[in-house]
Amino acid sequence: MHAATLARQVRLKSENPEAAIQIWHTDLVTGGVTPFVISPESSYLGNLGSLKIIWDEGFHKKVRQLRAKGLPNETGGILLGYFDLKLRNVYVVDALPAPPDSQGDQTGFTRGVEGLQTALKKAEERTAGIVSYIGEWHSHPKNSSSSPSAADIYLLAHLARTLQDDGLPAVMLIVGENDERWIVGKAAVE
């Protein structure tokens, strides 16, 4: 049934130049098929040394809104996504908001942990283990750029050492007043 739906929809959608995302769900009792339409967002591509990082406009809007909501204080959370190390790509899927036990003021942010394990587990279950933790994000206060502070560099080095055991780099996003900065960290091999 879904093969026939997909075949027809591919023909119809291919006649239209816009991108499309659609998911069909079958009601097992009635046999009815319900379509779920997702509006695709424009994507961005950035270079982080030998890695490429890919995110979309929806993600960009979300971190901007989270920063605005947190002002005048700094805020942050974790980044969800996945790595394709063969192609050297990092795909950023979501930024979770600050957990309730986080602490932020106009000079810094310390991310809490309340509810993070549950949120992370839910993301992993919904994506068959593909989407997971890839790093941290945080904002800087009004009139501040996204330039990393000494504390940011220290945190990135710590994250890199932690993720090194899985063979992964650490990703950090800093959201400033008018810009965003992606940073990748790899642990030094001794």
Report the half-sphere exposure of 12 (CA within 13 A, side-chain side).
9
Condensed to tens digits (0 to 9), the pLDDT of residues 84-125 reads 989 999 999 999 999 999 999 999 999 999 999 999 999 999
Domain that holds residue 29: 2-38
Tokens of 182: 């992606």
Is the domain of 165 the same as that of 111? yes
63 touches 95 (CB < 8 A): yes
Q: Give the closest residue to 180 by CA, choosing from 120, 143, 152, 140.
A: 140
104 touches 73 (CB < 8 A): yes
Is the domain of 47 the same as that of 33? no
Burial degree of 42 (CB within 10 A; 0-12, 13-18, 19+) = exposed
Tokens of 35: 């379509």
pLDDT of res. 19: 83
Is the domain of 32 the same as that of 125? no
Is the domain of 151 the same as that of 64? yes
Mean of the per-residue pLDDT values for the chain?
A: 91
Helix, strand, or coil here: 79?
A: strand
138 touches 153 (CB < 8 A): no
Residue 88 lies in a domain: yes
156 touches 185 (CB < 8 A): yes
Tokens of 41: 């967002």
Residue 190 lies in a domain: no
Condensed to tens digits (0 to 9), the pLDDT of residues 35-89 reads 888 888 999 999 988 899 999 999 999 999 999 999 999 999 999 999 998 999 9
* Maximum separation of any 2 CA atoms in the chain, in Å: 62
